[in-house]
Amino acid sequence: KAGVTQTPRYLIKTRGQQVTLSCSPISGHRSVSWYQQTPGQGLQFLFEYFSETQRNKGNFPGRFSGRQFSNSRSEMNVSTLELGDSALYLCASSLGTGTFTGELFFGEGSRLTVL
Amino acid sequence: AQSVTQLDSQVPVFEEAPVELRCNYSSSVSVYLFWYVQYPNQGLQLLLKYLSGSTLVKGINGFEAEFNKSQTSFHLRKPSVHISDTAEYFCAVSEPGGSYIPTFGRGTSLIVHP
């Protein structure tokens, strides 16, 4: 079974630009969550999508947005990039329903550097 | 809201020595508990989980953890570590019947010296 795939793995942007990150979940998983990981703040929850709807949201500004497609693939977008947005962005998939316990399956992340 | 405290940000240890990574959580209600490991430049991988039943949980790579409800703790242990265990370890908790979105601790960096 293929794991969670995130693209691109690495990217460099400049302040003010925008970026789109992509995540393909494990086949059959309908929930996709996004996390921002930084050395100072650890893992912070951005949002969760289930069946194309945002089901949960963390405390991030509106510059951070996401969406989920009918095949469960998800994208997140960050507009008007700031230096503080430099981080590893992790996507995690899960069943999201039924016997779901909160166990997540993570991709390898997209490392964003903002200059 | 849930909170998870990993009491040590960094734990240095020599190879073949035992190790314990500590985790405490805030909730007094029923919880699910997880330990994840993150190797350099990789995502997180599940080590073990506690859902119910026996309080001693065994995971991959020889790790185990003990759930202590009265102390709201879920400490991770390994009797003999290897160089390859050098990684970041995260404790996480989710609440059954809630959003199930897990709350993560800040992580503990395990550094195994030869």
What is the per-residue pLDDT for B95? 83
What is the per-residue pLDDT for B96? 79
Does B49 contact A103 at a Cβ distance shorter than 8 Å? Answer: yes
Tokens of B87: 């990684």
What is the per-residue pLDDT for A39? 86
What is the per-residue pLDDT for A98? 66
Q: How far apart are CA B104 and CA B84, in angstroms?
A: 23
The SS3 assignment for B35 reads strand
**B-chain residues within 8 Å CB-CB of A101?**
32, 49, 51, 94, 96, 100
Mean pLDDT of chain A: 93
What is the per-residue pLDDT for B28? 66
What is the per-residue pLDDT for A72? 94
Tens of pLDDT, residue by residue over A22-43, are 999 999 999 999 999 998 788 9
Tokens of A30: 């309908």
Does A48 contact B101 at a Cβ distance shorter than 8 Å? Answer: yes
C-alpha closest to that of B88 among A109, A60, A86: A109
Q: Label residue A114 by pLDDT band (50, 70, 90).
A: very high
**B-chain residues within 8 Å CB-CB of A56?**
99, 101
User: Would you call A75 exposed, middle or buried from its count of C-beta atoms within 10 A (0-12, 13-18, 19+)?
Assistant: middle
Torsional sign, CA B51, B57, B58, B63: positive
Segment A47-74 mean pLDDT: 95
Q: How far apart are CA B59 and CA B16, in angstroms?
A: 18
Tens of pLDDT, residue by residue over B41-58, are 889 999 999 998 889 999
Which residues does residue B64 pair with via DSSP β-bridges, in sequence order? B58, B77
Tokens of B17: 């020595």
A-B interface: how many C-beta pairs under 8 angstroms? Answer: 55
Segment B53-73 mean pLDDT: 93
The SS3 assignment for B53 reads coil
Residues from A contacting B (CB-CB < 8 Å) are 4, 6, 33, 35, 42-43, 45, 48, 55-56, 90, 92, 100-109
Encoded amino acid at A106, one letter: F
Q: Label residue A77 by pLDDT band (50, 70, 90).
A: very high
**Nearest chain B Cα to A31, which residue?**
B101
> Does B45 reach chain A within 8 Å, measured CB to CB?
yes
Tokens of A114: 């903002």
Q: What is the largest CA-CA distance in chain B?
A: 45
